[in-house]
């Protein structure tokens, strides 16, 4: 059985557990395009000749480009942040403040990884003024993902990273490409959605527009689009023109201790 590779970032809604199912539905093609790359689990566990990986989060894209270009230097510098003295609330909030005040992409990439591993439950969230605002996570010994960083850098030799919206990313697609979309999910309840991780809301209008974009890009060209989302009456309606639907039950947790797990249905719609 093929070894699965974990992302070096913790990620709410990450697709590590679903990569086998997603891969079974992804058509063959020359290049995989991901407009919502997130932590990159599908990228890390699929096998295409090329990848175009996009995200609206500039910090995430900068981090990926730096790991791609100078992995050894980044790993050596990032490791210094994973120390007992840095695993304290006061130090975390000081580094978070420095991150929010800094415009240096390299410093921000180091602290982004640090906060991802030391902050609450792998959340990535910004306030309306663009400030990173995830609280301290209180972990005994945060894991430094060296092996995962090394694998990511190796796989990234096949990738191009861009910071753009889904419409702009779709515009790069050409015949033979496959697009996988993992947008922020439709909330299952009114209280289920937390503040957007990029500072840009992704509401019901955007959800419907993404489905429209999938229909448009696949209409007259040899391009396939696979979209994942919660399986709800509403998502079934907006993806009604997809040629194939697949529903799967998955365990979900946003509780730090992992004890509040419940099963939810996810929908995969292939255009």
Q: Identify the CATH number of the domain in which residue 212 sits.
A: 3.40.50.150
State whether 138 and 209 are in the same domain: no
In a domain, 8, yes or no: no
Q: Each residue of 198-249: pLDDT tens digit?
A: 445 788 899 999 999 999 999 988 999 999 999 999 999 999 999 999 999 8
As for how many domains the chain has, the answer is: 2
On whether both 111 and 186 belong to a single domain, the answer is: no
Residue 169 resides in a domain: yes
Task: Clarify whether residues 91 and 56 are in a common domain.
Answer: no
- Residue 39, C-beta contacts closer than 8 angstroms, at least 6 positions apart: 7, 8, 9, 10, 11, 14, 15, 16
Helix (H) or strand (E) holding 65: helix 58-69
Same-domain pairing of 254 and 140? no
Whether 249 and 265 map to the same domain: the answer is yes
Calpha distance 32→11 (Å, rounded): 21
Mean pLDDT of 133-143: 95
Residue 182 is assigned to a ligand binding site: yes
What token pair was written down for 84?
Answer: 């007992």
Note down the domain range covering 101. 70-147
Show the CA angle centred on residue 10, arms to residues 8 and 11, nearest 5°.
Answer: 120
pLDDT value for 188: 79
Side-chain-facing half-sphere of 182: CA atoms under 13 Å: 24
Own/partner contacts of 255-259, CB < 8 Å, gap of 24 or more, are 255/121, 256/120, 256/121, 256/137, 256/138
Instruction: Enter the pTM of the model.
Output: 0.91
- Tell me the pLDDT tens digit for each residue of 80-117: 999 999 999 999 999 999 999 999 999 999 999 999 99
Same domain, 176 and 125: no
Residue 237 marked in a binding site = no
Residue 10 included in any domain: no
**Quick one: which of 40, 67, 73 has its CA closest to 55?**
40
In a domain, 182, yes or no: yes
Condensed to tens digits (0 to 9), the pLDDT of residues 145-185 reads: 999 999 999 999 999 999 999 999 999 999 999 999 999 99
Structure tokens at 180: 């996988």
């Amino acid at each position: 059985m093929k070894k699965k590779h974990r992302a070096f970032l913790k990620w709410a809604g990450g697709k590590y557990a679903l990569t086998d199912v997603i891969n079974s539905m992804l058509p063959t093609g020359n290049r995989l395009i991901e407009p919502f790359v997130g932590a990159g689990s599908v990228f890390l566990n699929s096998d295409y000749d090329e990848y175009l990986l996009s995200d609206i989060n500039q910090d995430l894209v900068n981090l990926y480009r730096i790991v791609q270009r100078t992995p050894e230097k980044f790993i050596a510098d990032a490791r210094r942040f994973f120390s007992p003295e840095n695993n304290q609330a006061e130090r975390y909030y000081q580094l978070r403040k420095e991150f929010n005040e800094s415009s240096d992409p390299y410093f921000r990439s180091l602290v982004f990884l640090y906060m991802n591993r030391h902050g609450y439950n792998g959340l990535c969230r910004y306030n309306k003024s663009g400030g990173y605002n995830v609280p301290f996570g209180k972990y005994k010994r945060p894991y430094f993902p060296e092996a995962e960083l090394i694998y990511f850098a190796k796989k990234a030799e096949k990738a191009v990273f861009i910071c753009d919206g889904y419409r702009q990313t779709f515009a790069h697609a050409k015949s033979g490409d496959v697009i996988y979309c993992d947008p922020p999910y439709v909330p299952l309840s009114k209280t289920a959605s937390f503040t957007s991780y990029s500072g840009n809301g992704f509401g019901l209008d955007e959800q419907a527009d993404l489905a429209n974009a999938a229909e448009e890009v696949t209409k007259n060209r040899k391009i396939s689009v696979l979209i994942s989302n919660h399986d709800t009456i509403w998502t079934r309606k907006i993806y009604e023109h997809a040629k194939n639907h697949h529903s799967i039950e998955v365990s979900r947790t946003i509780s730090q201790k992992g004890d509040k797990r419940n099963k939810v249905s996810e929908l995969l719609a292939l255009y």
